[in-house]
Structure 1
Amino acid sequence: MIRLLSTLFLLPAALSFTAPAQFTLRTTTHLHSSTAPPSDTLPYDISLEQYKALASWFTSSSQQSYISPKFSIQPSPSSGYGAFASSPISSGELLLSIPRSSCITLDNAFNDADIGEKLRKLRREAGPGSDTVCIAAYIAKQYLVLQEYKSQVELVEEGSLMDGAAKRRLENVKFKEYLESLPWKAGVNGQDHVLFWSEEDVEELLVGSLAYEDAVEIRNSVKYATKILNGIIGPTINKARGIEEPSDQSTFRLPWQQSPPEKQEQTIEGLEEAIRGAFVICLSRGFARIFKNSQTNNSNNNYEEEVEECLIPFLDILQHSNTPNCSDENSSTLDNVIEIRASRDIQAGEELFNQYKDEEDANMPFLRQHSNTPNCSDENSSTLDNVIEIRASRDIQAGEELFNQYKDEEDANMPYHKFFT
């Protein structure tokens, strides 16, 4: 499932990742890196069993959580997985109820026992533009802790480690099932993103396009974020791994404790990949949304509107369409609950689509974020009358999708979103 990048900026002495003020950051693109792993060599893929585990966690996490029995998750023709109607659905029928408590929000990041205080300090110093950084830091930390605890449980099960609390620690990782359903690596569930690309791919595929400047800025921003977040997340990961933090007070260690790392700045093993994956998830699956809360309404019964960035389980599975058959809105009866309903009658077997931002919106950064770089060209035959020939304009690897350029992207009249959605 491949969606729209948000725009990232670096402020002086601070990180700022700015998202649109309305709804989400997602749509479909068709520009792929030649270094993305082919589907038959993926390190792993999200299984339907993992989605079942996600559904079990979701419905048990809150009395307000609801999944229609007509809502099913299946491989999507678009890419990765999508949602489908398992039986006919009537217009207006409720498909999902998603409480805010089941979403990953800044509250989770700021109230985290391990890094919450540090993230609050980062937010105070960097401002609201750092919201995406804070959420990415939180889920990256959770993911790394999750991976470490899973490894420890495996060692216990094979008899290599005696630790009666290992399984309990694993099960207590907050959002465990949701984190395991997200694509942390390139190619998983069709996930591709410029942050996963090699420097060579960026230079080869994007130089000369309007996407190049944004792509370079995004990649540089995430590299900078990784350096900052290493100091925030690192101590927690070292603790989970049983690695002693550097200390000037004593060099004494118990026999089973690992030697501390050097005092100098070192990037925690696996952190760079986790941070990159976290930003891909936030930028491709994140929402900027206003939740309705009756406790914040004023004397005129109007609700205070505070846009907050968040990750929303199950809603992020629906693919984007500019002609959707579903819509999401705040519940009219329940506080802090999102409801997804059918916007028309839907036949059994139809894929369920949502619209995350209007492609006609002048603020839709579709051109800059999704500039298709052609690898083919069409022209009239030089030897045959009334014949068009399509030829490769560069060497193309097996499995690459073929692209043509239908109008110059630099043309001010190019209605890009109409042609490439």
Structure 2
Amino acid sequence: MMRLLFPLLGLLAASPVWAQQQPRQRVLTLAEALRTARERQPQLRQAQASTSAANARADQNFASLLPQVSASASYQKSLRSGTSTTTPGTTTPSGFISREGLNVGASVNQLLWDFGRTTGRWHSAQQSAEAQEATEAQTLLNVLSNVQTAYFNALAQQALVRVSQETLENEKAHLAQVQAQVQVGTRPEIDLLQQRTAVANAQVQLIQARNNAATSKAQLNQAMGVEGTTQFAVQEEAVALVQGENEPVDTLVDVAFEGRPDLRASEHQLRAQELTISATRANYLPSFSAQVSATDSGPNPANLDWGVTGQVGLSWSIFQGGLTRAQVREQQANLNNVQAQRDALRQTVRLEVERAQLAVTAARESESAAEEALTNARERLRLAEGRYRAGVGNIIELSDAQLSATNAAVQRVQAAYNLATARTELARALGRAAGPTA
């Protein structure tokens, strides 16, 4: 069953005083905020650039498996003294021997087999690229969750401004009532002083609430990646159950283990490190390659002789002073490090899921209690106002009732905000993208 988030907003928005005092503002929806974050959040652009770089590194490693083709061309001309009888060339009128030549060539090199050294590095780079893609997905998930949390915070602060506005209007109405009764002598003058203090305190609370609301909208801009004004209002949104939020925690943990992009990234990193170790061990073994080269050379372009050469080569580093062994030990230590990080991350995910589910349960129960408290506080205020008008109540009773009503309204807004953010955090902990609720 769907229910509206912050229903107090709708009630307070209907106040004629509030409608008259507030200028018309642009209204930001949650869907628009999330879309803006996808387009403008620098963290996402950074993650996308890192993914592109990782894919490029995989392509670089794959290039070593393809034929390597190169070409060269050179022209040479030299002058030597004519004293040597063995130097070929043309004798110039001045007695020097002139020699010139043109050489054009092309070669193709192809790795035949190196016992998995090059392919291992390529597959390792592929796993690293897939790990970065999963990290990018986790970054997107975190960004959208942060935007949704910031949006609900701005919505809560906006509601608190209206609570403060309503409180101030009530205190001003009480002040007018007290002034009238003090003037006719039915109430002592101290009631007037106390009520004036209550009005001043309400004005201070309204100023603080407006400042908090502006700050929350600035934080929302930052979460969206926007450099802009805070002259906008946020639209009231509906919040729905997170699928499975009432399931046993072990069930939710299994869902998180399957759905969290950061866990997938950890598994890809683990596989990449294993492939790196395998490729490094291949340094103990030889590598085979083939080369074909063709040349065309002669004294001038009209008089060239061509030739073709082919060869198969073996390269084997017999002894490197223990370099390969040390590299394998280092990479094995790195593998142990990645395994430990993966295990620590799984424990963190479990804690996040448990904590988020508990927060949802507590917030849901608190919201019901806060709703009842607000209803009772408003009824108490109504009775206190009636008793004061009838002359059987006092200013302290009226002030306490007003304070209780204000606190209950604040508590109701906070409970709604806590429920919205708890469900946002639970969805993130399960590896699901945050989004506007239907």
Larger radius of gyration: 2
TM superposition score normalised by structure 2:
0.23
Which has the larger share of helix?
A: 2
TM superposition score normalised by structure 1:
0.24
